[in-house]
């Protein structure tokens, strides 16, 4: 009996200590599409570097830069035609592609009569080139650690996003912005190291770690933004008392009626007389807007209205009021972005108030857990 109790205790203790995300092992390397559909690019290194091709030809190049072209006869490097894919690796340090440094190595694939340049590196090193692009590098370490867990989780969940093109993830806002080794900064690298392998899970699955700049006081349920029918409990929306001093917590914008009408021209509307807020979401945002115009009425989802008119000028769909004065519409609202998931300015505020990254994550994604992935 005693042994049984001890065993149960030992198993519980192990699970509690390591909290391993056990669904499956995660690949250690990630293939990032960094330059796509290009006729040529420049590879280089400050040390010697090596190029090998599919037929096992190997070149050793001395430090410097070399131009690489797509050709009907293969991939041209100097006067040689090599068989794709090429592998380009530094003897030491980073490898350059079009003047930007990258950790790991490069793969050059032919795609039709163009080249795709893929950076292969460890997932942990990849996050180092993402975090400075997704967060403000001078924010406190706990906010950066929360963002590191988010970026890692997002990368792993999206590992198959570009599999049809022969890589895992692209380097633009389509996936996550990745700037290579040249954008790395010490505070972000520290945040990544201190959260090494950690991801956010819900019910044993990786969580959808959506985030935005500033929620304006309450985060949003994605059903009102992306029309999700089954919102996971951790994305239902929470109160946020930490972003009150952030930019655009309260914003105002004046736009010409003619500009709004032009942006909504797909809907064949006449001169806009009034824009009415129809219903509020649980986060206090507008659900829909009724546009009363000279030809009739049009009802639009408030978030879709923001995207159609100008998401940069209208900071959120959390409208407090919309008034007309002459031929100008005066919008007042709260927050910046879609408002779903973690509020970045709120995370910064929580960190400044002494909250840990775990408290930040569980506040914005309630009922989730932080677990460690195992790389294979």
Taking CB under 5 A as the criterion, the residue among 36, 95, 130, 243 binding Zn ion is: 243
- If one asks whether residue 240 binds Zn ion (CB under 5 A), the answer comes out as yes
Among residues 130, 133, 140, which one has the least CA distance to residue 347?
140
- Residue 40, class by beta-carbon neighbours within 10 Å (0-12 exposed, 13-18 middle, 19+ buried)? middle
Which one of the spans 114-122, 239-247, 257-265, 312-320 is the region binding Zn ion (CB under 5 A)?
Answer: 239-247
Q: Which residues of 311-347 are buried (b: 16+ CB within 10 A; e: fewer)?
A: eeebbbbbbbebeeeeeebebebbbbbbbbbbbbbbb
**Stretch 346-375: interaction string toward Zn ion, x if CB under 5 A:** x-----------------------------
- If one asks whether residue 237 binds Zn ion (CB under 5 A), the answer comes out as no
Minimum Å gap between C-beta 72 and Zn ion is 29
> Given the complex with Zn ion, which of 117 and 243 has the nearer CB atom?
243
Binding residue count for Zn ion, defined by CB under 5 A:
8
- If one asks whether residue 238 binds Zn ion (CB under 5 A), the answer comes out as no
109: left (phi over 0), alpha (psi -120 to 50) or beta: beta
Minimum Å gap between C-beta 170 and Zn ion is 3
> CB–CB of 279/286 below 8 Å?
yes
φ, ψ of residue 34 to 5 degrees: the values are: -100, -35
- If one asks whether residue 343 binds Zn ion (CB under 5 A), the answer comes out as yes
Cα–Cα dist 342/220, whole Å: 10
Q: What is the CA radius of gyration of the chain?
A: 25
**Stretch 143-182: interaction string toward Zn ion, x if CB under 5 A:** ---------------------------x---xx-------
Torsion of CA 109, 111, 116, 118, to 10 degrees: -50
Among residues 203, 197, 216, 176, which one has the least CA distance to residue 317?
216
- If one asks whether residue 215 binds Zn ion (CB under 5 A), the answer comes out as yes
Minimum Å gap between C-beta 248 and Zn ion is 11
- If one asks whether residue 130 binds Zn ion (CB under 5 A), the answer comes out as no
- If one asks whether residue 30 binds Zn ion (CB under 5 A), the answer comes out as no
> Given the complex with Zn ion, which of 101 and 346 has the nearer CB atom?
346
Among residues 88, 85, 81, 84, which one has the least CA distance to residue 42?
88
Minimum Å gap between C-beta 213 and Zn ion is 9
Q: Given the rule CB under 5 A, which residues bind Zn ion?
A: 170, 174-175, 215, 240, 243, 343, 346
């Amino acid at each position: 009996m005693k042994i049984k109790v001890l065993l149960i205790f030992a198993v519980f203790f192990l699970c509690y200590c390591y909290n391993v995300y056990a669904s499956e092992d995660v690949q250690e390397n990630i293939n990032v599409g960094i330059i796509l559909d290009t006729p040529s690019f420049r590879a280089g290194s400050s040390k010697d570097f090596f190029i090998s091709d599919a037929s096992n030809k190997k070149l050793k190049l001395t430090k410097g830069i070399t131009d690489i072209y797509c050709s009907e006869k293969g991939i041209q490097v100097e006067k040689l035609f090599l068989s794709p894919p090429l592998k380009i690796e530094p003897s030491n340090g980073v490898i350059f592609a079009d003047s930007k440094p990258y950790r790991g190595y490069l793969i050059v694939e032919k795609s039709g009569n163009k080249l795709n340049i893929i950076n292969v590196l460890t997932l942990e090193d990849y996050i180092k080139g993402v975090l400075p692009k997704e967060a403000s590098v001078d924010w406190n370490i706990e906010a950066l650690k929360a963002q590191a867990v988010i970026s890692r989780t997002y990368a792993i969940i999206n590992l198959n996003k570009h599999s049809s093109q022969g890589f895992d993830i692209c380097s633009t806002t389509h996936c996550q912005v990745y700037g290579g080794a040249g954008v790395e900064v010490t505070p972000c690298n520290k945040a990544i190291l201190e959260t090494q392998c950690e991801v956010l899970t819900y019910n044993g699955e990786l969580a959808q770690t959506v985030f935005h700049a500033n929620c304006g006081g309450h985060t949003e349920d994605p059903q009102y933004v992306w029309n999700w029918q089954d919102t996971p409990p951790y994305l239902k929306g929470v109160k946020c008392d930490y972003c009150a001093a952030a930019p655009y917590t309260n914003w105002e914008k004046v736009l010409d009626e003619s500009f709004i009408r032009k942006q909504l021209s797909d809907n064949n509307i006449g001169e806009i007389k009034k824009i009415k807020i129809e219903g509020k979401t649980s986060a206090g945002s507008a659900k829909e807007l009724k546009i009363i115009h000279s030809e009739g009425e049009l009802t639009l989802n408030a978030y879709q209205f923001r995207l159609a008119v100008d998401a940069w000028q209208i900071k959120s769909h959390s409208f407090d009021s919309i008034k007309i004065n002459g031929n100008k519409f005066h919008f007042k609202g709260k927050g910046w972005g879609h408002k779903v998931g973690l509020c970045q300015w709120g995370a910064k505020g929580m960190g400044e108030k002494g909250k840990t990254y775990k408290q930040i994550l569980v506040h914005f994604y309630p009922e989730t857990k932080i677990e460690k992935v195992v790389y294979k």
